[in-house]
Amino acid sequence: MKKILFTRYLVEQQRDHGHIPSQLRLLLEVVARACKGISQAVNKGALGGVLGTAGSENVQGEVQKKLDIIANEVLIEANEWGGHLAAMASEEMDGIYVVPNRYPQGEYLLLFDPLDGSSNIDVTVSSGTIFSVLTRPEGASGVEEKDFLQPGHQQVAAGYCVYGPQTTLVLTVGDGVAMFTLDREQGSFVLTEENVRIPEDTKEFAINMSNMRHWDQPVKRYIDECLQGKEGPRSKDFNMRWIASMVADVHRILTRGGVFMYPWDKREPEKAGKLRLMYEANPMAWLIEQAGGAATNARQRILDLQPTKLHERVSVVLGSKNEVERITRYHTEA
Ligand code: AHG
Ligand code: MN
Ligand code: MN
């Protein structure tokens, strides 16, 4: 079988469909290269002295792991000099990072969660990098935070790289979803799956069950019906999978279907949910939709939400279409 490397895939996509201009291709190659570096650091684990906490907190008040900071730095250093970007935003930085004056500024904006599921790293469970690419609004001279506040349907590329037993990069540029596995001997991402499709029905759900007492009634109703199995209204037995790395949970769903939920709950009622709209929910929602699934905030399509701030949070329900539609209906009916 002939090996199609990431670069070749991008070049051929551009040639055949014309939706990866050369600056975007450069951006995606740079992100892929940064992910290889992060994968190396994650793999070294205790040998690299990279495990444990860094002793600081991010803007969301979460304790930062050493690897959260390392991954953030790797992505910034890789991306700032190429001339393809105007600015970046990250879970691990309070404000936006404008490309320094000494480098040329490009037309793209890059958002990322440098390391999703970082609480799992010390126990060698999968984690990953999530990214979203937007175009800078036309005519703007400088670049400001408000330039990033675009709904998810305006993304021009989105993806993630999961660091697990394999390192796999998953990408959409709006023409389906492709997966690339890192060939460590060669140091290249190789195309291993194209036209990824999510089955419309599933018997597998992912939610942090320990939060059950804080959930809203429609979420309780849905999970309760699943738990009743064959004897209940769903007339089938369900299985639960919860990795606590969104990136790994989404990867499972893209691979074999399922539904993932991180809904609003009563613990912090003023916040919409735990996950962040711009660099977690939006890129994942687009990938899921591109693979034939659905993604809502339990009421509306995630990709249509107008962000109001960079680190905005959102409820997330995504995965197999019929299941997401059911959960969304339970909410809108309530
Ligand atoms: P991050 O490591 O980037 O802060 O994100 C972790 C997220 C997500 O990956 C996962 O679904 C969720 O947090 C798990 O949180 P809880 O264990 O608090 O439920
Ligand atoms: Mn995350
Ligand atoms: Mn993170």
Domains in the chain and their CATH numbers? 6-193 (3.30.540.10), 204-333 (3.40.190.80)
- Ligand 1: residue of 241, 246, 317, 318 to mutate (most ligand atoms within 8 A of CB) is 246
How far, in Å, is the centroid of ligand 1 from the Cα of 117? Answer: 5
With 90 as the cut, is the pLDDT of residue 63 above it? no
CB atoms within 10 A of CB 53: 15
| Contact call for residues 17 and 176 (beta carbons, < 8 A) | no
- Tell me if 117 CB under 6 Å of ligand 1: yes
How far is 68 from 52, CA to CA, in rounded Å? 10
What whole-number percentage of the chain has pLDDT above 70?
A: 100
How far, in Å, is the centroid of ligand 1 from the Cα of 68? Answer: 13
| Residue of minimum CA distance from atom 3 in ligand 1 | 116
| Residue of minimum CA distance from atom 16 in ligand 1 | 244
Q: Which two tokens stand for residue 45?
A: 């684990």
How far is 178 from 290, CA to CA, in rounded Å? 10
- Among positive and negative, which fits the CA dihedral 322, 327, 330, 334? negative
CA end-to-end span of the chain:
52
Pick from 259, 215, 246: nearest CA to 119? 246
| Contact call for residues 288 and 159 (beta carbons, < 8 A) | no
Please report the pLDDT score of residue 265 as a whole number: 96
Upper half-sphere CA count for residue 281 (Cβ side, 13 Å): 34
60 alpha carbon, closest ligand = 1
- Ligand 1: residue of 75, 274, 318 to mutate (most ligand atoms within 8 A of CB) is 274
pLDDT digits (tens, 9 = 90+) for 175-232: 999 999 999 999 999 999 999 999 999 999 999 999 999 999 999 999 999 999 999 9
The length of the chain in residues reads 334
Upper half-sphere CA count for residue 82 (Cβ side, 13 Å): 25
Q: Which two tokens stand for residue 324?
A: 């997401």
How far, in Å, is the centroid of ligand 3 from the Cα of 117? Answer: 6
Whose structure tokens read 């937007």?
134
Pick from 227, 244, 245: nearest CA to 236? 227
Please report the pLDDT score of residue 84 as a whole number: 96
How far is 273 from 267, CA to CA, in rounded Å? 9
- Stretch 158-181: mean pLDDT: 98
- Tell me if 262 CB under 6 Å of ligand 1: yes
- Ligand 1: residue of 275, 279, 316 to mutate (most ligand atoms within 8 A of CB) is 275
Based on its alpha-carbon atoms, the radius of gyration of the chain, rounded to whole angstroms, reads 19
With 90 as the cut, is the pLDDT of residue 116 above it? yes
Read off the amino acid at residue 160: Y
**Average pLDDT score over the chain:** 96
139 three-class SS: coil
Please report the pLDDT score of residue 74 as a whole number: 98
280 alpha carbon, closest ligand = 2
Please report the pLDDT score of residue 80 as a whole number: 97
Q: In what order do the strands lie in the sheet with 97-98?
A: 97-98, 85-90, 108-116, 127-135, 157-163, 167-172, 177-183, 188-193
- Tell me if 54 CB under 6 Å of ligand 1: no
Q: Which atom of ligand 1 is nearest to the CA of 274?
A: 13
With 80 as the cut, is the pLDDT of residue 248 above it? yes
How far, in Å, is the centroid of ligand 1 from the Cα of 326? Answer: 24
Q: How far is CA 37 from CA 32, 115, 173, 281, in A?
A: 9, 12, 23, 24
- Tell me if 167 CB under 6 Å of ligand 1: no
- Cα 79–chain centre separation: 18
How far, in Å, is the centroid of ligand 1 from the Cα of 110? Answer: 21
- Tell me if 323 CB under 6 Å of ligand 1: no
